Structure 1
Amino acid sequence: MAQISIRRSVNSDLDRIMEIVDSAKELLKKDGSPQWQDGHPNREMFANDIKNQTNWVLTVGNEIAGTATLQFAPEPAYSEITDGTWNVTDQPYATIHRVAISNNFRGQHLSRYLFSNLISMGQIQGIKNFRIDTYPKNVRMQRLAESFGFAKRGQILVNDKIDPHRIAFELNINN
């Protein structure tokens, strides 16, 4: 098996990242989910993530197999939560956003490597709390989150023109 690792993305990765994201958008559409169908995430968002050094790529050998953003700044959409509450509100958290795996690598459970490494990168920075959100029909992401111990915390609203409702998840690591 080829070496699997993550690294911060660079500008020259942007075309490949967008190929992966575009194929993920098609998969979501095929699943009947409106998530990512309103034009975002788009190239500009990923370019900003790269500039801010918050985007990561998962590599298998020398090939980019996936991407995700690990954001350490508070997520504005998470300031209001309904149908529940965040478990930890007095400590910093990191947010995992814009997760996508290449259709060339789907079914190989590489999203588990990606999540594991992102959580490790957060812990290296002293973060013990992680949050994500996903659309109710995105069962793949829900299963992945729950397999890592993320718990459903409620509902949040994001900037999405089609349907802004998302399920909010939180992982709290106690050492």
Structure 2
Amino acid sequence: MIIRPATHSDVERMDEICEAAKAAMRNMGIDQWQDGYPNRACWEADVDDGFAYVAETDEGTVAGMFALVTNAETRDPEPSYGEIDGAWLTPEAKYAAVHRVGVAPEAKGRGVAGTMLDFACNKAAQMGLASVRIDTHADNKPMQRALRKAGFSLCGVITLVEGNDAGAQRIAFEKLV
């Protein structure tokens, strides 16, 4: 499996994976991603901004995707991470943020999420950043398991400050790189 920057030709598949993830969360009673976000326009913007990555199998099938948001010039690439009920591992350091992680239903249980998270951490380290941060819904137990398995530490609760879910709380994780 390789992780590579996503292109506009990947967006259709990314959207399919996203829709499957939305359905899976809905079936688990999780209200995350149930309000139209993320959507195709979001994936297009991530590709345009250079934030989108895909996990591609040896057969050339996209099995997962995520956004890796970095800003080496400033400390905070994610406005929602400015305040936390808890404590970041690196409160004053530069970090990368991972968002919109999704794995195709047929690829679940094959280490795709872990491979993508490892890539994000390695990329952040290559950029000289101190850590990678990510947040998820408190009820999203599969994502929480993936994060813990990948070595992320639970740091506390953040409140989203932008987008459709502004005001919603999420649990936040961080991993030193």
Fold in common (TM above 0.5): yes
2:172 paired residue among 168, 172, 175: 168
What's the secondary structure of 1:7's corresponding residue? strand
Aligned counterpart, 2:145:
143
Aligned length: 169
Mapping for residues 1-175 of structure 1, pairs under 5 Å: 4-61=1-58, 62-73=60-71, 74-82=77-85, 84-158=86-160, 159-161=163-165, 164-173=168-177
Q: Kindly tell me: are residues 161 and 170 of structure 1, through their superposed partners in 2, closer, same or farther at Cα, counting changes over 3 Å?
A: closer
TM-score of the pair, normalised by structure 1: 0.91
- Long gaps (5+) in structure 2: 72-76
Distance in 2 (CA, whole Å) between partners of 1:40 and 1:31 is 18
Alpha-carbon shift at residue 109 of structure 1 (Å) = 2.1
CA RMSD in angstroms comes to 1.5
Distance 1:121 1:161 in 2: 28
Structure 2: distance between partners of 1:67 and 1:81: 26
Q: For residues 78 and 64 of structure 1, do their structure 2 counterparts lie closer, same or farther at Cα, with a shift above 3 Å needed?
A: same
Contact 1:37-1:162 at 8 Å conserved across structures: no
Identity in percent: 33
Which letter does structure 2 place at the counterpart of 1:41?
Answer: P
- For 1:65, the aligned partner's letter is A
Cα offset, 1:161, TM superposition: 4.2
Residue 108 of structure 1 and its aligned partner are, at CA, apart by 1.5
